[in-house]
Structure 1
Amino acid sequence: MGRVYQKYLSGSKIYSCSTCHCHLACHEDVMSKSFQGRHGRAYLFANVVNVSVGPKENRVLITGLHTVADLHCNVCQTQLGWKYLEAFDQAQKYKENKFILEKSKLITSEGGW
């Protein structure tokens, strides 16, 4: 199968997969820390790396019906959260093409590589 290509991030604070420590996002890309995931608190990010996007599905979430796709770590396949593909409520459109990462699936490090 070969080695998995990983992108390494730099910045003041890096969010990584809690299972394999693969870089996922920079602190500068956090849009909100007040979201709810499947397993508790979650963060909304503008950009993430080193994830694969699963098949899209319609889900009724706290804020209504959305089309989402689950996110998995490219290295260890841990389910990390989801990507918002479509919001049906006009007030929720800002979430489209943004990413939810569950706090319980993240670790943080200072400075990057």
Structure 2
Amino acid sequence: MNIETALKEAMSVEGAIGVSLVDYESGMALGTLGGGPTLDLELASAGNTEVMRSKLRTLSSLAMDDTIEDILITLGKQYHLIRPLTASGGTLFLYLALDRGRSNLALARHSLKRIETALEV
């Protein structure tokens, strides 16, 4: 599946507000869909790049021989999911923002995993 199709699939997740595919080395979004006045996806993508980098540094500092499956940020009204793409050589992640009242977190995580598996970058 290409980037555009992957973003559309992610936006079909119940409660999706916005999604982006981000290169955490450069901080640039390779593609975005959704967002709007309540969510600036370019800014959120860049900010979540720092979250990703920080977690990777922490794992390295702790000498943990493990990988990040996903990172969940829980807000009062939203869930933010960051899913590193292992097949991308380790520099890309999917970022999905969800309306907390309209989404199912377990199904959203499952959907991102499925999208990650099918995505060809």
- TM-score (norm: length of structure 2): 0.31
Structure number having the greater strand percentage: 1
- TM-score (norm: length of structure 1): 0.32
